[in-house]
């Protein structure tokens, strides 16, 4: 065979020769200090019996109101290979004193054994989308040897669960970290021990518990505590708390990459123009490099997210071309920007599903995005923004301005906190002789569905559904998209 026709042979990293099983019974016992009963291998780790798949290790966690040991039969019926328990059971298992602490120990063992570059992601807005984009880019770079936390597994249980699932062959790991109170990210970053620590932005999420924007920035800066020697902090250049973030990172003696539109940004936006499909064509500069790429996700906030992704991939040693492709191909996630069609009289309506989370900054960003979306009528279903404390009435009332600027025709407001906005909208309608935005206030998602049905969605409408997850507005999206066939 001529050299020109010879097959391309990829270099074979040493990790490619590692076995494929995630954990053996002996390894689980050694990591957790437990005792193995039975010899087995597992291919996954799960804590919810309903999500167990064939070959999983079921971790029987105990909480204040629930004991996972009650669901052992269901887990093994779904195909569990073994369980992590605190008592003897009639299934293959590893017995430990405390299953929660054992899961953390298993996570630590997974972190220790993988020679992976680890990226940790936190921030007030955009954590999950940025995490997914970084993962997609690094998965391309590594030819499938990247791992990430799924869904929003970003708390004291989700983070160790995600770490324990990381295969020994992993070359890049991307983990999301969330918080409601000061000190929580400190504990999570100690487990993740990132080489790259990312803060997407600072916004008034959880301000009820943290008291101020500076308090929020301080809590997010805890992610730098776990940064490994020689690591990199990726921080937003455009927030008012930039100097506070920079000082916190600098105190840890790590490298810093600031991203954004400001002149002091290391990775700086030069230009962004619409690409004709709802996304943006972006040009950015870093050192002597010029980066040109497409961002498929609509909205100004995704331009900022894209800069964050590029900075993180660069810091992790990934391929920026792969990052550009990832950003060009990404679609919205369910509950976090997915755009779906609903069959309605006269054709189809566009539903923008932002039902998983909401705070003042993300509300304004998605309302602006709706305003740029071509539509016959623009409709919003807005649920209460939680954890704003005494700031809640003002933050909700201030949504009137971006609603008007977005050209919204009708609003369905859901939850007690939205009464402040309803009062402002009532005043606006009176001041404009009844020509303001029409609206209805509801107590829950069921009433919101009825209100939308009474309003009468029609072909060509664009509907933004957004609120804190506890309001349950995903039910609204599911109701109207279930009829799509």
Question: Each residue of 124-171: pLDDT tens digit?
Answer: 988 999 999 999 999 999 999 999 998 778 999 999 999 999 999 999
Closest by CA position to 92, among listed 57, 123, 125, 51 = 57
Pick out the chain residues at pLDDT < 50.
1-8, 10, 15, 485
pLDDT for 20: 61
Strands 23-24 and 41-42: antiparallel
Q: How far apart are CA 163 and CA 142, in angstroms?
A: 18
Per residue in 32-87, pLDDT (tens digit) is 999 999 999 999 999 999 999 999 999 999 988 889 999 999 999 999 999 999 99
Q: Which H or E run contains 315?
A: helix 300-315
Q: How far apart are CA 409 and CA 418, in angstroms?
A: 17
pLDDT for 433: 52
Task: Out of 3.30.750.24, 3.40.350.10, 3.40.1390.10, 3.30.43.10, select the CATH number for domain 18-98.
Answer: 3.40.1390.10
Q: How far apart are CA 109 and CA 277, in angstroms?
A: 45
Q: How far apart are CA 366 and CA 351, in angstroms?
A: 12
pLDDT for 11: 53
pLDDT for 31: 98
Location of structure tokens 């971006």: 402
Closest by CA position to 198, among listed 238, 248, 236 = 236
Which residues fall within 8 angstroms of residue 462, CB to CB, at 6 or more apart? 349, 350, 352, 370, 373, 374, 375, 377, 378, 379
Calculate the alpha carbon distances from 433 to 160, 399, 424 in Å. Answer: 57, 20, 14
Calculate the alpha carbon distances from 397 to 358, 401, 466, 471 in Å. Answer: 15, 9, 16, 18
What is the third-level CATH fold of 114-329?
A: 3.40.1190
Closest by CA position to 286, among listed 306, 317, 311 = 311
Q: To the nearest 5 percent, what fractions of the chain are helix, strand and coil? A: 40, 25, 35
Q: What is the DSSP string of 408-454?
A: --EEEEESGGGHHHHHHHHHHHHHTTT-S-EEEEESSHHHHHHHHHH
pLDDT for 339: 86
Neighbours of 229 (CB within 10 A): 8
Q: How far apart are CA 181 and CA 222, in angstroms?
A: 11
Provide the token pair at 291.
């980066």
148 and 135 Cβ atoms separated by less than 8 Å? yes
Centroid of chain to Cα 241: 22
Per CATH, 18-98 and 114-329 having the same topology is answered: no
Ordered by start, the domain boundaries in the chain are: 18-98, 114-329, 338-481
pTM over 0.85: no
CATH class (in words) of the domain with range 338-481:
alpha beta
């Amino acid at each position: 065979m001529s050299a020109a026709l010879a097959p391309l042979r990829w270099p074979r990293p040493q990790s490619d020769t590692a076995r494929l099983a995630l954990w053996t019974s002996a390894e689980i016992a050694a990591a957790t200090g437990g005792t193995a009963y039975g010899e087995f291998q597992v291919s996954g780790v799960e804590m919810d019996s309903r999500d167990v798949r064939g070959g999983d290790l079921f971790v029987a966690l105990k909480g204040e109101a629930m004991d996972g040991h009650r669901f052992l039969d269901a887990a093994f019926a779904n195909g569990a290979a073994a369980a992590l328990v605190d008592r003897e059971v009639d299934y293959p298992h590893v017995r430990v004193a405390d299953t929660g602490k054992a899961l953390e120990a298993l996570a630590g063992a997974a972190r220790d054994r993988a020679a992976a570059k680890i990226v940790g992601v936190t921030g007030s807005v955009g954590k999950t989308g940025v995490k997914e984009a970084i993962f997609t880019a690094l998965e391309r770079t590594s030819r499938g040897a990247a791992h990430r936390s799924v869904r929003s597994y970003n708390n004291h249980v989700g983070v160790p669960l995600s770490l324990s699932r990381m295969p020994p062959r992993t070359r890049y790991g991307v983990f999301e970290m969330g918080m409601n109170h000061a000190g929580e990210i400190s504990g999570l970053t100690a487990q993740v021990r990132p080489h790259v620590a990312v803060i997407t932005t600072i916004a008034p999420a959880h301000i009820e518990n943290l008291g101020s924007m500076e308090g929020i920035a301080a809590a997010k800066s805890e992610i730098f505590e776990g940064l490994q020697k020689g690591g990199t902090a990726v921080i937003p250049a455009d927030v008012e708390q930039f100097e506070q973030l920079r000082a916190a990172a600098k105190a840890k003696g790590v490298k810093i990459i600031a991203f954004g539109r400001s002149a002091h940004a290391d990775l700086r936006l030069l230009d962004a123009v619409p690409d004709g499909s709802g996304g943006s064509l972006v040009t950015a500069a870093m050192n002597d490099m010029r980066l040109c790429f497409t961002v498929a996700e609509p909205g100004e906030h995704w331009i900022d997210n894209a800069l964050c992704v590029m900075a993180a991939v660069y810091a992790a040693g990934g391929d920026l071309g792969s990052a550009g492709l990832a950003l060009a191909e990404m679609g919205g996630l369910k509950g976090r920007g997915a755009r779906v069609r609903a069959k309605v009289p006269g054709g189809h309506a566009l539903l923008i599903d932002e039902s998983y989370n909401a705070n003042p900054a993300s509300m304004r960003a998605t309302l602006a995005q709706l305003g740029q979306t071509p539509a016959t009528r623009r409709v919003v279903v807005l649920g209460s923004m939680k954890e704003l404390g005494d700031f809640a009435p003002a933050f909700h009332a201030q949504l009137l301005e971006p609603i008007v600027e977005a050209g919204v025709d009708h609003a369905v407001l859901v939850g007690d906190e939205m009464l402040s906005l309803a009062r402002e909208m009532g005043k606006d309608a009176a001041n404009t002789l009844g020509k303001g935005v029409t609206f209805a206030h509801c107590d829950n998602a069921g009433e919101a569905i009825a209100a939308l049905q009474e309003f009468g969605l029609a072909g060509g409408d664009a509907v933004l559904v957004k609120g804190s997850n506890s309001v349950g507005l995903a039910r609204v999206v599911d109701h109207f998209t279930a009829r799509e066939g």
